[in-house]
């Protein structure tokens, strides 16, 4: 019975992960990246820099949420002795996402500082 419940949990995780990867985010992400590049290139006023900072705040929050999700997933994989590699994978992704969140927060702070010195 335990083997069946472990299989069910793994099947659900795989199904959810497959669903996440199939979401149509590629085009929207590319447009957003292009918009941010333009915003950075054209930033002159405090409002321009604040808009960029707000974008980076959102990126930081998203990365922090992904980090927390990967930590929770790693905790789930700890229950499966044969899935220790997946646990390590999730731990690594959690650390990378946490670092990305720190970097995005630093970028937001830098643009807020630039806003104070802008025209």
pLDDT (tens digit per residue) in 25-50: 444 466 777 799 999 999 999 999 99
* Residue with the two structure tokens 């083997």: 3
Asked whether residue 51 is domain-assigned, the answer is yes
- Cα 101 to Cα 51: distance, rounded to the nearest angstrom: 18
User: Do residues 60 and 108 lie in contact, with contact meaning Cβ atoms separated by under 8 Å?
Assistant: yes
Please write the tens of the pLDDT for every residue from 41-96: 999 999 999 999 999 999 999 999 999 999 999 999 888 878 888 989 999 999 99
Number of domains in the chain: 1
Residue ranges making up the domain that contains 105: 25-117
In this structure, are residues 89 and 13 in contact, taking their beta carbons and an 8 Å threshold? no
d(CA 11, CA 14): 5
* pTM, to two decimals: 0.71
Q: Evaluate whether residue 8 is within a structural domain.
A: no
């Amino acid at each position: 019975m335990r083997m069946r419940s472990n299989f069910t949990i793994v099947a659900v995780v795989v199904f959810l992960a497959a669903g996440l990867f199939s979401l149509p985010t590629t085009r929207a992400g590319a447009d957003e990246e292009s918009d941010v590049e333009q915003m950075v290139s054209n930033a002159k006023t405090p409002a321009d820099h604040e808009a960029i900072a707000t974008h980076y705040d959102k990126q930081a929050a998203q990365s922090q949420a992904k980090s927390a999700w990967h930590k929770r997933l790693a905790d789930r994989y700890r229950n499966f002795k044969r899935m220790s590699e997946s646990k390590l994978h999730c731990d690594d992704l959690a650390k990378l996402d946490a670092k990305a969140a720190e970097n995005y927060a630093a970028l937001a702070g830098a643009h807020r500082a630039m806003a104070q010195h802008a025209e």
